[in-house]
C-alpha cells in the first residue's frame, strides 16, 4: 500500500508541473500579443487640388413681377371676371365696378365742353368784329380790349372743360379693372356687391409673374471678407465663367432642376444683421418656386488652386463645437484640430491643421485612442473600388487648367 502511494506521487508531480507551465504560457501569450497589436484603419494621403468653392446661404423666393390690384374709384363691385388661381394676360378684365355714376359724370363733362366751345365761338367772333372796328375808330379801345380778353377766357374755359371730360373718361375706365401684367392671379379679396374705395385703395387681387423668380439671399460680411482676402492673396481665383452660377436646394436636400445666376451682390451692410444682400434669378417654368418660400442657395464663388480636401466622414466634431481629424504619424493615431472651410463635391476644404502628404484616417478612428498604434490601409469607397486620395478635381465643371472634372488624375493613396 505504501509503495502504491509513493509511485502515484512520483507520477503526479511531473504532470502537475507540466500543467502549471502550460497555464502560464497560455496566460502570457495573449498579454504580449495585445500590447503589440495594431488596429487596422483606412487612410488617404492628402494632396493639394483645384477645388470649386461653393457656399450655401439662406434665401427667400420673390416674384419677378408682383402687381397688387387695387380700386382706383369708389363704387360697388358688379362682377368678378376671372378664374381665381388661373393665368391672366395683360389688359384682361378682372373686376367691373358699377359704372353708372361715372358714365353720368362723363356725359356731364361732355355737355360742359360743348357749352364752353359755344361761348368761346361767340367771344371769338366778337373779338374779330372789334378788331375791324377799332381800325375805323368805331369802338373805343376799352371795348376792344374787353372783347379780346373775353375771347381768351372762353378759350381757357374750353381747355378746362376738355380736361374735365378726360378725367371723367379716366374714372369711367377705372370701373373696368384690368391686369397690368401677364401672370398668375390669386384669390379675389372682395365679393360681388362689396363697396370698394379709391381713398383707402381697397385691395382686390394680386397678379404675379412666376415663369422666372428672384431669390433674395443674405450672406454674413465675414464670409465676404474672407473670400476677398483669399482672392487678394492669390489663393482663390474668381469664377472664370463671368456670371456667378447659383443653385437652389429644396427642403429634402435635392437640387432644383434649373440653375440660376447671381444678379448682384450688395455693397452695403445691414447694420441690424451684419449681413449683405444678394439677388439671383432662376427660371421657373413649372412654378415649383413660389413667392415667400424659404430655400438654401448654393453659390459658386471661385476656385482654390491648392485646396486640401478631405471626405466628410473624416471630420470629427468635438464637445466644444470645434472640428478635428485623426492623422497617422509614426504609426500612431494623432488627433489634430482643424479649421474647416466650405463643402465641395469631394468633401470639406481644410484651411488650417493639415499639410500636403499627411496620412488622414477616414475609417476606423472610432476604435483608436490618441497615441494608439495603427496599421494604415488604403481607403476603399462604397462599392468596393479603391477611392482616390483627397487630391483630384472637386466640384462640377472644369478645373483651372480647363480639363473636365472626369479627366483629372487621381491622387496617390497612402500605403
Cβ partners under 8 Å of residue 232, min gap 6 = none
Report phi then psi at 78, rounded to 5.
-90, -35
Are 52 and 396 in contact, with CB atoms under 8 Å apart?
A: yes
The three-state secondary structure class of 78 is strand
CB count in 10 Å sphere of residue 7: 10
State the Cα–Cα distance between residues 83 and 98, nearest whole angstrom: 20
Q: What is the pLDDT of residue 31?
A: 43
Q: Would you list the DSSP string of 92-148?
A: -EEEEE--HHHHHHHHHHHHHHHHHHHHHHHHHHHHHHHHHHHHTT-S-HHHHHHHH
Residue with cell 483669399: 230
Alpha-carbon distance of 92 to 207, in angstroms, equals 12
pLDDT at 24: 46
Q: What are residue 291's phi and psi, to 5 degrees?
A: -55, 135
pLDDT for res 240:
55
User: What was the pLDDT predicted at 10?
Assistant: 52
CA gap 369, 314 in Å, rounded? 15
Q: Which domains are assigned to the chain?
A: 42-62+211-407 (2.40.30.170), 72-98+175-201 (2.40.50.100), 100-171 (1.10.287.470)
Average pLDDT across each block of 10 residues of the chain; the chain has 415 residues. List them in order.
46 48 46 61 86 85 95 96 94 97 97 96 93 89 92 96 97 97 95 95 95 91 73 65 76 88 77 85 93 90 81 83 86 87 81 86 81 83 48 38 36 33
- Per-residue model confidence (pLDDT) at position 406: 36
Is the backbone of residue 117 left (phi > 0), alpha (psi -120 to 50) or beta? alpha
Phi then psi dihedrals of residue 11, to 5 deg? -75, -40
CA-to-CA separations, 276 to 217, 273, 349, in angstroms, rounded: 8, 9, 24
Amino acid at each position: 500500500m505504501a509503495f502504491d502511494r509513493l509511485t502515484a506521487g512520483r507520477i503526479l508531480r511531473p504532470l502537475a508541473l507540466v500543467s502549471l507551465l502550460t497555464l502560464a504560457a497560455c496566460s502570457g501569450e495573449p498579454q504580449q500579443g495585445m500590447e503589440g497589436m495594431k488596429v487596422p484603419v483606412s487612410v488617404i494621403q492628402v494632396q493639394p487640388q483645384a477645388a470649386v468653392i461653393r457656399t450655401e446661404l439662406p434665401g427667400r423666393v420673390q416674384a419677378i413681377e408682383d402687381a397688387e390690384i387695387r380700386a382706383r374709384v369708389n363704387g360697388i363691385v358688379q362682377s368678378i371676371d376671372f378664374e381665381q388661381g388661373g393665368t391672366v394676360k395683360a389688359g384682361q378684365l378682372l373686376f367691373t365696378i358699377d359704372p353708372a355714376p361715372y358714365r353720368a359724370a362723363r356725359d356731364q363733362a361732355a355737355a360742359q365742353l360743348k357749352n364752353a366751345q359755344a361761348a368761346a365761338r361767340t367771344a371769338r367772333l366778337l373779338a374779330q368784329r372789334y378788331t375791324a372796328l377799332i381800325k375805323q375808330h368805331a369802338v373805343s379801345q376799352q371795348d376792344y380790349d374787353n372783347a379780346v380778353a373775353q375771347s381768351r377766357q372762353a378759350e381757357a374755359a374750353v381747355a378746362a372743360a376738355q380736361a374735365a371730360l378726360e378725367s371723367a373718361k379716366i374714372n369711367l375706365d377705372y370701373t373696368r379693372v384690368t391686369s397690368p401684367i401677364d401672370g398668375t392671379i390669386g384669390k379675389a379679396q372682395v365679393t360681388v356687391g362689396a363697396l370698394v374705395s379709391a381713398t383707402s385703395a381697397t385691395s382686390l387681387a394680386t397678379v404675379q409673374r412666376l415663369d422666372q423668380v428672384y431669390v433674395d439671399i443674405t450672406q454674413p460680411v465675414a464670409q465676404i471678407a474672407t473670400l476677398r482676402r483669399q482672392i487678394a492673396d492669390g489663393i482663390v481665383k474668381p469664377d472664370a465663367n463671368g456670371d456667378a452660377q447659383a443653385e437652389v436646394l429644396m427642403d429634402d436636400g435635392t437640387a432644383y432642376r434649373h440653375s440660376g445666376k447671381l444678379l448682384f451682390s450688395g455693397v452695403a451692410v445691414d447694420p441690424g444683421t451684419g449681413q449683405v444682400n444678394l439677388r439671383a434669378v432662376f427660371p421657373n417654368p413649372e412654378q415649383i418656386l413660389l413667392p415667400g418660400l424659404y430655400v438654401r442657395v448654393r453659390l459658386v464663388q471661385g476656385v482654390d488652386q491648392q485646396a486640401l480636401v478631405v471626405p466628410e466622414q473624416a471630420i470629427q466634431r468635438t464637445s466644444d463645437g470645434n472640428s478635428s481629424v485623426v492623422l497617422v504619424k509614426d504609426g500612431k493615431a494623432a488627433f489634430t484640430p482643424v479649421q474647416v472651410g466650405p463643402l465641395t463635391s469631394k468633401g470639406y476644404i481644410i484651411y488650417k491643421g493639415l499639410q500636403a502628404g499627411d496620412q488622414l484616417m477616414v475609417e476606423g478612428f472610432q476604435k483608436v485612442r490618441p497615441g494608439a498604434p495603427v496599421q494604415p490601409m488604403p481607403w476603399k469607397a462604397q462599392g468596393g473600388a479603391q477611392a482616390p486620395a483627397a487630391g483630384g478635381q472637386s466640384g462640377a465643371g472644369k478645373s483651372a487648367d480647363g480639363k473636365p472634372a472626369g479627366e483629372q488624375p487621381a491622387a496617390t493613396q497612402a500605403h
